[in-house]
Structure 1
Amino acid sequence: MAGAPTLSATPGAHVARPGTRAWIALAILTFVYVLNFLDRQLLSILAKPIQDDLGVSDGQLGLIGGLYFAMFYCILAIPVGWLADRTNRVKVLAFSCALWSAATAACGMASTYPQLVLARMTVGIGEAGGVPPSYAIISDYFPPGMRGTALSLYNMGPPIGQALGVAFGASVAAAWSWRLAFIWVGAIGVVTGLVVWFAVREPRRGGLDGNVVPEPPRQAGPVAATTAPGFWPTCAMFFRDPVLLRVALACAATQFITYATMNFTVLFLMREKGMELGDVAVWYALVVLFGVSAGMVASGRLVDRLVPRGKAAYAWVPAVGLMLAVPFFVGFIWAPGWPLALAFLLLPMGLNYFYLSPAVTLVQQEVRPDQRVLAGALLLLVMNLIGLGFGPTYLGLASDFFRPAYPDSSLQMAFYTLLPFYGVAIGLFLWLAKALKQQRKEVAP
């Protein structure tokens, strides 16, 4: 790998087993991730009442849930990641959780669209310090042979957060108002930030990588392997390395689909499939919870099992998942009513997320322990700037474009235009598989 030593296993080395503290830390970090996604998804879940109250269009919803949010979330994750690699990662995470939660509560107090935009941008600023430090903390609590499973359990945060957001947000909005849902979730998040600050201990960087040894760096000299990497050298290394760059681009293409879908599915089911908020709170929540959770856990287990036979599994697992998802996604768009649409959506909900656990595990394995937060932030920069920034923005604008000709099915037509992006994502994962095979040939004795 360019710019950083590659880690290789020491034959016969003992693999440390994580203790109780590691599992407690994983549970707390996963709950923070649940809140991260719950906060983020409330906007899409409550899109219909927000539209009715503030009078915003599909395009404006796409911008506020996509580009406006992503500009701060993606870009600020880089300096925050660099800071966390050099300071206390747990405290960075705790402060970030409290900040985005306070901003979520502010969303419930917005009375105009610009105020809502400002609050959502602040949520993005806070969430920039959420996921990358967590990736690195977990990687230092769990040894290499268990990181795929641990990170897949952590990555259950999004489906649980989405499901709770659907059930909680829709129920509160139906019984009281959409504003109260934002305020309550924000208050819970501020308290959780305090729990992280006092309950999670900062693990030693690379403390469980004793069973791996760095290969001699090409530049030679013992200092090269131990000197802390700088900000710009780490960025340059990430974008020069064919494996890291390709996994980021493949994830970006996949997230273009997943974030576009996630931000408009509830509105699509309610406005064009006849679903009510009460139905959303139960049935859509269950589809999200079981579909995405199964995808996260299954993909993490698959890579832990298959990677010892060949690292190309990091690419093949998500590629095959996306291939299998396409026909069911078409059925979801086509279905004449919401019950059949949800039945078709269940499998894509899981298969579309086969990419995340393999991608995160691969990046954390490929870089040095003191580069993990920044490398995770760079991964998120690429995939979220493209996927989160432009996926919802594109779908919302596409719906506005189709509305004059298809006033009752503009979102359906917009969803059909996402199908070519499946082909792009699959092609990029196959491109990644090629780089992983080439890497294996280069390191083979």
Structure 2
Amino acid sequence: MATTTAASPIGSATEAVSYGTPAYRFYVLFMLTLVYTLNFIDRNLVNVIAQPIITEFHLSDSQYGFLNGPPFAIFYAVMGIPIAMAADRYNRVVIIAICISIWSVMTALCGFATSFLFLLMARIGVAIGEAGSTPPSNSILADYYKPRNRAAALAVFAMGVTIGSALANYFGGPIARNLNGPALQKLFEAWDWSWALGVTDWSQVAGWRAAFVVIGAPGIIIGLITLFTVKEPPRGYSDPPGTAPQKRAGMLETLKDLAGKPTFWTMALGAATVGLVGYGLVGFQAPMAQRIHGVDPGTFALQFGGPLALAAAFGTFMGGMIVDRVSHKYQAAVAVVPAIGMIVAIPLYFYAFTRPTEDLYSVARPVWCIAILAHYMYLGSQYTIGQGVVHQRSRASAIAILLLLIALIGNGLGPQIVGWMSDMFMSMELGKASFGGVLSTELCRNAAEVAKLPLEQQAVCKAAYGEGLRTSMMATVLFLIPAAVFFYLSSLTLKKDMVAKHV
């Protein structure tokens, strides 16, 4: 069903007017943020249980980086464009509800993976579903909130990224640790579900599999609630008065519009580069803690993964609030504030990553949280700028182009680069040892084979496995420097390029 554009909002002749009552606007913002949160719970669950997956399928860090990077990113990007074009023409709420159902089913299927290829294909299915949620959500919020309030609304919406990461840890970690096959078998026996006991050999079912199923399935219910309770707003309703009804813009037209907007492209490159750092670090932070400090995935999820994600959510919110308060006096703040945050984060990350195990909880964890808070102050700004430099008829397509770059460069290259560098640095660490080529990266990743080695060689393997990844993580942090430069460059042309004025 095609949607229509509002000819003119009802309200002041000189000011833009938001759509709906304040209470209902809040409900819509809550629901779309919940959807975005669910998106990132399902997407980030694999990061929480990374090391058990690496161990079960005997993966190198490069292979795990591939699982978590290029295929997911490519399909996310490829499917995002046509879905965004549909969102610029048809009912956006229906599109969102369908996409939620797709990615939820595919997340649950990850728990049934019998091979690396099976798991890879299920992850691609998650990517296809998740590609269709964000552009229409951004477009809907732009029609509910007038330009003056959009930065705050979009900052709240963007918190779904980090809240989703937190909940993936708080739910995924405990489920993976406590709800394994034997635990499920006891539950079935207590419930007298004899039919379930013979489905499989529950003693061989790992907890990470249950986590995928338990977390993925409820998304279908959220999709139905969204479909029946979120109202499709008239397009352009909350734009300043005098904005004429316009035909939906195609992708080529949007690209032509953006061709003369350097603000968009420099910001997009900055967002993609900082995304590379974020996706890379999040994908490997749990394995690094286990290899360096001996922290198991369940403990890391509760003690580190959750708090770090909440710190990122607070940083996202704080960045949006700072921008919203000062941008009426200094419009470029929407790009400058994120750049400052990225530079501040670099030394804090380095300090946190290099603390010894005895300082892990008392020193490394709080510093790590502060680093992430500063790092993620950019998220609301990327959406504010991305849809603010084009007219309302092109907003979803512009956001899709932005997410395309973030997906291909950030999600596509981030985990892969960390994995490549980890294997490389691990090989270099082993090369320093004087064992005449006896130790290899493949051997030192195999816990069963390492246990058969002399104690001295076991220590070398363990150290190289951990230090290789830690060095890779620190090298990845340095990509925040060019990311900050790109955001600063976008501030130089911001005033000229912005279409949505601060009214």
Q: When the two structures are superposed, what TM-score results if normalisation uses the length of structure 1?
A: 0.91
Deviations 1:391-431 (A, max 9, x none): 11100111111112331411111112124312111111121
1:42 aligns with 2:45: yes
1:424 aligns with 2:426: no
**Distance in structure 1 (CA, Å) of the matches to 2:242 and 2:280:** 42
Tell me, yes or no, if the aligned pair for 1:107 and 1:119 is still in contact at 8 Å. Answer: yes
Q: Answer with 1 or 2: which has the greater Rg.
A: 2
**Distance in structure 1 (CA, Å) of the matches to 2:415 and 2:144:** 35
1:313 aligns with 2:343: no
**Distance in structure 2 (CA, Å) of the matches to 1:280 and 1:323:** 26
AA at the equivalent of 1:202: E
Tell me, yes or no, if the aligned pair for 1:74 and 1:385 is still in contact at 8 Å. Answer: yes
The percent identity for this pair of structures is 33
Q: How does 1:118-129 map to 2 (within 5 A)?
A: 118-129=121-132
1:399 aligns with 2:434: no
Map of 1:217 onto structure 2: none
Tell me, yes or no, if the aligned pair for 1:54 and 1:111 is still in contact at 8 Å. Answer: no
**Distance in structure 1 (CA, Å) of the matches to 2:246 and 2:36:** 32
**Distance in structure 2 (CA, Å) of the matches to 1:146 and 1:419:** 32
Q: Give the drift of 1:15.
A: 4.0
Q: Give the drift of 1:365.
A: 2.2
Q: Any unmatched runs of 5+ in structure 1?
A: 1-9, 215-221
Query: How large is the Cα RMSD of the aligned pairs?
Result: 1.9
Map of 1:272 onto structure 2: 292
**Distance in structure 2 (CA, Å) of the matches to 1:430 and 1:294:** 22
Q: Give the drift of 1:278.
A: 3.8
Q: Any unmatched runs of 5+ in structure 2?
A: 1-11, 181-206, 430-463
AA at the equivalent of 1:294: F
Deviations 1:239-286 (A, max 9, x none): 442111111111011111111111111111112122123422321144
**Distance in structure 2 (CA, Å) of the matches to 1:393 and 1:11:** 52
Q: How does 1:274-289 map to 2 (within 5 A)?
A: 274-289=294-309
CA 1:280 to 1:235, structure 2 compared with 1: closer, same or farther past 3 Å? same
**Distance in structure 1 (CA, Å) of the matches to 2:398 and 2:216:** 29
Map of 1:218 onto structure 2: none
**Distance in structure 1 (CA, Å) of the matches to 2:24 and 2:31:** 11
**Distance in structure 1 (CA, Å) of the matches to 2:402 and 2:16:** 30
Map of 2:219 onto structure 1: 189
**Distance in structure 1 (CA, Å) of the matches to 2:241 and 2:333:** 21
1:354 aligns with 2:377: yes
Alignment coverage as a number of residue pairs: 422
**Distance in structure 2 (CA, Å) of the matches to 1:257 and 1:394:** 10
Tell me, yes or no, if the aligned pair for 1:32 and 1:97 is still in contact at 8 Å. Answer: yes
Tell me, yes or no, if the aligned pair for 2:348 and 2:370 is still in contact at 8 Å. Answer: yes
Moved more, 386-395 or 331-340: 331-340
Q: When the two structures are superposed, what TM-score results if normalisation uses the length of structure 2?
A: 0.80
Tell me, yes or no, if the aligned pair for 1:287 and 1:349 is still in contact at 8 Å. Answer: no
CA 1:213 to 1:269, structure 2 compared with 1: closer, same or farther past 3 Å? farther
Tell me, yes or no, if the aligned pair for 1:164 and 1:285 is still in contact at 8 Å. Answer: no
**Distance in structure 2 (CA, Å) of the matches to 1:132 and 1:28:** 15
**Distance in structure 2 (CA, Å) of the matches to 1:231 and 1:437:** 24
Pairing partner for 2:413 from 378, 384, 390: 390
**Distance in structure 1 (CA, Å) of the matches to 2:412 and 2:241:** 37
CA 1:212 to 1:275, structure 2 compared with 1: closer, same or farther past 3 Å? farther
Map of 2:72 onto structure 1: 69
AA at the equivalent of 2:71: Y
SS of 2:249's equivalent in the other structure is: coil
SS of 2:15's equivalent in the other structure is: coil
Map of 2:396 onto structure 1: 373
Q: Give the drift of 1:438.
A: 5.4
Pairing partner for 1:158 from 155, 161, 165: 161
CA 1:212 to 1:364, structure 2 compared with 1: closer, same or farther past 3 Å? farther
